[in-house]
Amino acid sequence: MNPTSARKTLPRLDESLLSHLPPFSRLDRRQVREILDLASVRRLDEGVAVFEEGAPAERFYMLLDGYIRVMRITPTGEQVIALHIPAGQLFGIAKAIGRDTYPATSVTASEALVLSWPMRVWDDFVARYEGFATETYKTVGQRLGEMNTRIVEMATQQVEQRVANALLRLINQTGRKVEGGIEIDFPITRQDLSEMTGTTLHTVSRLLSGWEKDGIVASRRKRITVTDPHRLVLVSQGHAPR
């Protein structure tokens, strides 16, 4: 889908939308208003590419609602899901890691409300607004840590453990309690899980089907619920389901 086709006219945003979020939480309402007046706002449907890997990093973004899926393309042309970003976080912050192009593709994993600013105001934000730089670099550190964990898992763990750990991360980051367990709070397919864990769609389908029979997970179209988190933790540690 062309992102421009998903643009919709939205009302002027209130300062309270940003004032509780870490990059802006130390600022007064006047400063938050200044920041909002420089922002563009878009409501996007699921599956819309916000920006593409390798494109010039002309804007940076704040996700107000929804989820973003960050994807990389390997040298062999395979698509790998690097991480998911929940609401309340900056993304597309290439300037923070010294880049002038985006290092990955960001696609909406659900309907999303996104603010963005021209990258040319980045240095001004860092200089003028208390807490913006420290919180941004903290976010970068957390994401690098998560990606390093994934690399270690790929190198050292069996596929069952990798898939179990991926589900556990998702329910920790985005899970919501529902009847019968904890549901991942955005649409996710078995193909998505295979791209997150470096395995095949067939293997992920086989594992989820087995775990459903064992009462560890429940799945329906684009929705996965962990019904027995403790047993999934055991699987992630290399223990067979009982």
For residue 202, the model assigns a pLDDT of: 96
Q: Hey, what amino acid is at 192? A: D
What's CA 16's distance to the chain center, in Å?
Answer: 23
Alpha-helical (H) ranges within the chain are: 16-19, 29-37, 122-128, 132-156, 159-174, 190-197, 201-213, 229-236
Q: What is the pLDDT of residues 188-235, one digit of tens each?
A: 999 999 999 989 999 999 999 999 999 999 998 889 999 999 999 999
Q: Hey, what amino acid is at 183? A: E
Beta bridge partners of 79: 73
Least confident of 1-5, 97-101, 190-194: 1-5
For residue 201, the model assigns a pLDDT of: 95
Task: Answer whether 119's CB lies under 8 Å from 51's CB.
Answer: no
Q: What is the rounded distance in angstroms from the CA atom of residue 218 to the CA atom of residue 230?
A: 15
Q: What is the rounded distance in angstroms from the CA atom of residue 198 to the CA atom of residue 187?
A: 19
Q: What is the rounded distance in angstroms from the CA atom of residue 125 to the CA atom of residue 104?
A: 23
Q: What is the pLDDT of residues 20-35, one digit of tens each?
A: 999 999 999 999 999 9
The answer on pLDDT for 53 being more than 50 is: yes
For residue 9, the model assigns a pLDDT of: 43
Q: What is the rounded distance in angstroms from the CA atom of residue 221 to the CA atom of residue 165?
A: 21
Which residue is it, tokens 């009982």?
242
Buried b (16+ CB within 10 A) or exposed e, 79-103: ebbbbbbebebbbbbbbbeeeeebe
Task: Answer whether 183's CB lies under 8 Å from 110's CB.
Answer: no
Beta bridge partners of 101: 56
The answer on pLDDT for 17 being more than 90 is: no
Q: Can you list the domains of the chain with their CATH numbers?
A: 3-146 (2.60.120.10), 157-236 (1.10.10.10)
For residue 7, the model assigns a pLDDT of: 44
Q: How many residues does the chain have?
A: 242
- Largest CA-CA distance found in the chain, in angstroms, rounded: 58
Other Cβ atoms within 10 Å of 155 Cβ, number? 7
Task: Answer whether 204's CB lies under 8 Å from 197's CB.
Answer: yes
Q: What is the rounded distance in angstroms from the CA atom of residue 62 to the CA atom of residue 41?
A: 9
Judge if pTM exceeds 0.85: no
Q: What is the pLDDT of residues 138-194, one digit of tens each?
A: 999 999 888 888 888 888 999 999 999 999 999 998 999 999 999 999 999 999 999
Alpha carbon separation from 38 to 15, 82, 205 (Å, rounded): 13, 30, 46
For residue 242, the model assigns a pLDDT of: 63
For residue 150, the model assigns a pLDDT of: 85
Q: What is the pLDDT of residues 111-143, one digit of tens each?
A: 999 999 999 999 999 999 989 999 999 999 999
Share of the chain above pLDDT 90, in %: 75
